[in-house]
């Protein structure tokens, strides 16, 4: 299970590169396209093709007032990936891709329970405070 979470964290790192301003606008769209295509093909994230319609429609189609794809498109991951990539290339621009990549990251974190709890953060902060106080002495 933790191996799966590590794998998902690696996928999230790839999407975070889009938000890092290391790429120009064209490179960002192309990189995002590749990441989305790889994500759609990924059987670790989406074990069954039935898991894909809500993801694709919720993130890529509905926010842009695009109709849901026909059911046969979801039967083939390669066809679905091609359709989504064409939608990204033809209909979206840089200013839409960056927030979309953040939405994908959020989706993955929620789906795989990767969000760090506030209690964990507070506990780590208190440990850091204790250590810094100890080191100053």
Residue 5 in this model has a pLDDT that exceeds 70: yes
- Give the span between the Cα atoms of 69 and 56, in whole angstroms: 9
Residue 130's pLDDT band, with cuts at 50, 70 and 90, is low
- Nearest CA to 88 out of 79, 80, 97 is that of 97
Predicted confidence at residue 118, as pLDDT, reads: 47
Does the pLDDT of residue 135 top 60, yes or no? no
Write out the H or E segment, with its range, that includes residue 88: helix 77-91
Cα(38)–Cα(33) distance, rounded to whole angstroms? Answer: 9
Span between the terminal Cα atoms of the chain, in Å: 42
At residue 20, the pLDDT reads: 86
Are 97 and 29 contacting, i.e. CB atoms less than 8 angstroms apart?
A: yes
């Amino acid at each position: 299970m933790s191996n799966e979470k590590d794998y998902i964290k690696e996928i999230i790192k790839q999407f975070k590169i889009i938000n890092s301003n290391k790429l120009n606008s064209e490179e960002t769209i192309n990189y995002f396209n590749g990441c989305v295509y790889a994500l759609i093909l990924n059987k670790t994230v989406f074990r069954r093709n039935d898991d894909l319609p809500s993801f694709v429609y919720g993130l890529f189609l509905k926010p842009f007032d695009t109709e849901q794809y026909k059911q046969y498109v979801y039967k083939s991951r390669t066809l679905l990936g091609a359709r989504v990539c064409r939608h990204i290339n033809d209909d979206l621009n840089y200013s839409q891709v960056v927030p979309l990549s953040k939405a994908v990251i959020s989706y993955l974190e929620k789906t795989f329970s990767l969000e760090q709890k506030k209690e964990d953060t507070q506990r780590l902060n208190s440990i850091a405070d204790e250590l810094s106080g100890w080191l100053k002495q």
